Structure 1
Amino acid sequence: MDLKSCFLSFALLLFSYLAFAQSTALNTAIDTSAVVYGKKANDYIYIYKNRITAKAFYIKTSNSLVISGREGEDVGFNLYPNKQDKIGAAVAFRSLSASYSFSPNSLAENPNDKDSKLFNLNIRTYLGKHWMQTLDIYNQKGFYLDGHIEDSNSHIYLQDTKSFKIGGATSYIFNENFSYRALANQTEKQLKSAGTFIPTLVYYYTRHNVLFDDEFGNREINTKIKSYNIAIAPSYQYNYIPTKNVFISLGASAGLGLNFSSSKNKLDALDNEDLTSLLTEINFNGSITYDIDSLYFGAHYNYLILNYNADSFTYIKDNIPYFQAFVGYRFKASNKLVQRAENFNDNLIP
């Protein structure tokens, strides 16, 4: 099953579960004749409780590697995907949000380079007032290899090279007056400025299959790199409200952890190596949103860098830059959908 099918299956499963939750709680009396579509949680946060928040967006993102020599060797490479731009949509209701995006050929760096692909899936959910969970999936095909070895420079298109990354973060938000939902999916509105300390556990699994054939069809590169990363990353985020319609957020984190890497060269078994090394994590972000009642638009930027040793000779910077421009609208949820959500909560938490 491909990733697109997995996403559709997840959406179908969620809908089916909500329907099942409703059918098992027929005796629960819920008055939906006068649905309240929003409320103030406190003086700092307004919750769009029974509104469906939807948005369309443009994204420029990728997962690239910068490879350099550890011992001062004159070696350096940048392995980056052909496709980095995407369009998509996101929807959020209550504590669950999901997005889907794709990269059409017209947005590729070089549309003439065949078979390049980019798929990205992000899911974020909240557990109670403090816990937040994210899941990220990147699936890419078609990379450029730019770099040099000693005095030789290269610019090669690797159409068969693939990359897969899955992982995410588990975070604890200390300040109840701080709204991460106002930053991430606009299902809440920050009324007054507030900041918070957010300790986070970050974890990713990444696999790169680097393949290249010369002009005669002979394979010159056939290397598989697997990487497991885990880090504890303390962070701080601040939401600034200069006026009632303008939202600005800034944040950063710096973490330490471990990397477990495995490098397999199918053309030369002597280059195979497994290595455990120190991992450093750096992440910073900024966001701005302008809100006019139910309509809103804005932009968000995030940059995650994971640094570790891939083997005895090379040092890797695993980069995930992310830019999003978006426009969205908050729709009133139907009484039936609100009832399903209430029944789901009643069955989940008796």
Structure 2
Amino acid sequence: MSQKRRHFEMNWFPKHLLLYVFLISVNFYGQNATQKDSTSIVSFADKIIIKANLSTQTDTYILRTDNTVDLKVEPNNNYKLFLSLDYQFIGISLGFAPNFITDNQDDNLKGKSSFSDLQFRMFLGNWVQGIYYNKIKGYYIKNTHDFVDDWIKGEDPYIQIPNLKNVTWGMSTAYVFNPKFSYRNLVYQTEWQKKSAGSFVPILYYNYNNSGFTFLGSESEEKSFNIRLATNYYYTLVIKENWFISPYVSPSLGVRFVNDKSIINDIKSTEYKTLITRQLEGGLQLGFSSKRIIFGGSYNFSANWYNEDKNSNTENDRIYGILYFGYRFDTPKFIENSYNWLTNKF
């Protein structure tokens, strides 16, 4: 089983190297922070920005073959909540599936699923560098009715694969070509776009994924390294200064290097594959920005697919929404003084 987003494993990074990169970033950011057009973009890097995102994005996978019924698998996480904090050139966010939302509570029918997501990002002039960790465990077969004749929706439990899991480590590197366009206004809300502008924002994703499960006496483990280049284009139309509408489109092409191990009927097998991945994303965002308050929402679609072999392919087609709300706080003096000490020293 594969997942849309894969992330490169970071275990080999020594701690002192991460510290070195951090200090270099402080110096780089300090030298480049003033290069943007201040009449088009207002920066709130000196504020602490706290934001909450509510997403309906789910990881549904469809295995299509020539000879059998499609297999549709997804986790029991209809809603995900992301809490983020940004200050100066760095940001961090934590995602989870809250149990207090009713649609995340039907474990008796779909089984229990867990979701955790951790993201770290750095803004270096026109560059945006991200590091990601994602883990999902517990899936169910969405089209159980295709496999159980007398199955009744809403009464009978779905076929469940509780120990199916996906663990992902990865990175992304983005570059914003137009200095009059604020990518941070759209994605992280750490800036305020004051004038309409658009830009190409190519993003290189490179990640490592480990997924596996045991089911009805069979075992499977798949390890893959994935690299994908997305050629994004964004445009922000500013309406009466505070409001904006922003469409985007993102076609991408990538490569997956797969090591697939399985045990079926006590027969072990190992297969190495190189697969071409294709993906198309897009959406429309409506938002509000002011000196303190930020909020908005977006409507998005995502379609990605790759051929497993001549007779089967895996697809992941989704339409989902995101709502967000945030507030820009004045930075406490001890944090501001610590940051200024770092920039002056390094």
Bigger mean CA deviation after superposition, 91-100 or 145-154: 145-154
Name the CA shift for 1:173/1:309 in 2 (closer, same or farther; >3 Å).
same
Mapped to 1, the partners of 2:41 and 2:161 lie a distance apart of 49
Mapped to 2, the partners of 1:226 and 1:64 lie a distance apart of 19
Name the CA shift for 1:206/1:63 in 2 (closer, same or farther; >3 Å).
farther
Mapped to 2, the partners of 1:210 and 1:147 lie a distance apart of 19
Aligned residue for 2:72? Answer: 78
Aligned residue for 1:289? Answer: 287
Task: Describe how 1:79-98 pairs up with structure 2 within 5 A.
Answer: 79-98=73-92
Q: Deviations over 1:99-146 (max 9, x none)?
A: 112223343252335542111222222112x11122332211110123
Name the SS of the counterpart of 1:339 in structure 2.
helix
Q: Contact conserved, 1:171 with 1:200, CA < 8 A, in 2? A: yes
Structure 1 unaligned regions, length at least 5: 1-12, 22-37, 214-218
State the shift of 1:319 in Å.
5.7
Q: Contact conserved, 1:105 with 1:111, CA < 8 A, in 2? A: no
- 2:49 alignment partner AA: T
Q: Deviations over 1:50-85 (max 9, x none)?
A: 21111223222333322112xx33341112111232
Q: Deviations over 1:228-280 (max 9, x none)?
A: 22122212111110221102222111122211123322125466422112221
Aligned residue for 1:105? Answer: 99
- 1:78 alignment partner AA: K
- 1:159 alignment partner AA: P
Name the SS of the counterpart of 2:142 in structure 1.
strand
Name the SS of the counterpart of 1:61 in structure 2.
coil
State the shift of 1:168 in Å.
3.6
State the shift of 1:303 in Å.
4.4
Aligned residue for 1:54? Answer: 50
State the shift of 1:174 in Å.
0.5
Q: Contact conserved, 1:259 with 1:279, CA < 8 A, in 2? A: yes
Task: Describe how 1:230-249 pairs up with structure 2 within 5 A.
Answer: 230-249=227-246
Mapped to 1, the partners of 2:107 and 2:99 lie a distance apart of 6
Name the CA shift for 1:150/1:118 in 2 (closer, same or farther; >3 Å).
closer
Matched, 1:159 2:162: yes
Aligned residue for 1:32? Answer: none
Aligned counterpart in structure 2 of residue 277 of structure 1, from 270, 275, 278: 275
Mapped to 2, the partners of 1:97 and 1:142 lie a distance apart of 29
Structure 2 unaligned regions, length at least 5: 1-14, 24-33, 152-157
- 2:245 alignment partner AA: I
**TM-score, length basis structure 1:** 0.77
State the shift of 1:194 in Å.
0.4
- CA RMSD, Structure 1 to Structure 2 (Å): 3.2
- 2:40 alignment partner AA: Y
Identity of aligned residues (%): 27
Q: Contact conserved, 2:43 with 2:191, CA < 8 A, in 1? A: yes
Aligned residue for 2:172? Answer: 169
**TM-score, length basis structure 2:** 0.78
Task: Describe how 1:29-68 pairs up with structure 2 within 5 A.
Answer: 41-68=37-64
Matched, 1:209 2:205: no
Q: Contact conserved, 1:175 with 1:196, CA < 8 A, in 2? A: yes
